[in-house]
Amino acid sequence: MRMPTVCTYELARVADAETIANISRWLIEAGLQPTWTAARVAWHIQHPESTVLVAKENARLVGFGIMQFGEHAAHLNLLGVLPARQRHGVGRQLLSWLETTALTAGIVVVTLEVRSTNRGARTFYEALDYTVLDTITGYYEGREDALRLKHDLRIRSSSLPD
């Protein structure tokens, strides 16, 4: 049986921006021109309409999520967990926190884009009740498609903790 990773979850500080950008570069934007610079992450950390959440294990950042809140929907910009900590429930916890934040703000729809080739993430989101809205051809530098996913938070996931 896999033991859950013992993490603390907290709002990111500007000092976390560089680590998040570095991880994003190889974990999420691998093979693409990086767009999530430390400055961009720091902007989201400081912006009132974004939440940047980090998971830390013994003070080491092992996961993060960035959600931006609009008038009608929230957009999950980034979600990542270090490979050694994947499949221990960290991604689920990060997303649950961010979704709860959206609900608290009165937002019931979350959208995101995922690389069409990213089977692991697609299965993760599917397990958490995200459904495919459509495919955006060439979304990534004109050479890789994205799937646009959506979750109506009024449909409660049986996979999320109480």
Ligand X SMILES: CC(C)(COP(=O)(O)OP(=O)(O)OC[C@H]1O[C@@H](n2cnc3c(N)ncnc32)[C@H](O)[C@@H]1OP(=O)(O)O)[C@@H](O)C(=O)NCCC(=O)NCCS
Smallest distance from ligand X to CB 65, Å: 8
DSSP 97-146: HHHHHHHHTT--EEEEEEETT-HHHHHHHHHTT-EEEEEEEEEETTTEEE
Asked if 101 is part of the footprint of ligand X (rule: CB under 6 A), the reply reads: no
Smallest distance from ligand X to CB 122, Å: 9
Residue 3, helix vs strand vs coil: coil
In this chain, which of 22, 111, 116, 118 binds ligand X, going by CB under 6 A?
Answer: 118
How many whole angstroms separate alpha carbon 13 and alpha carbon 7? 17
Smallest distance from ligand X to CB 4, Å: 9
| Binding site residues, ligand X, CB under 6 A | 27-28, 78-81, 86-92, 114, 118, 120-121, 123-124, 127
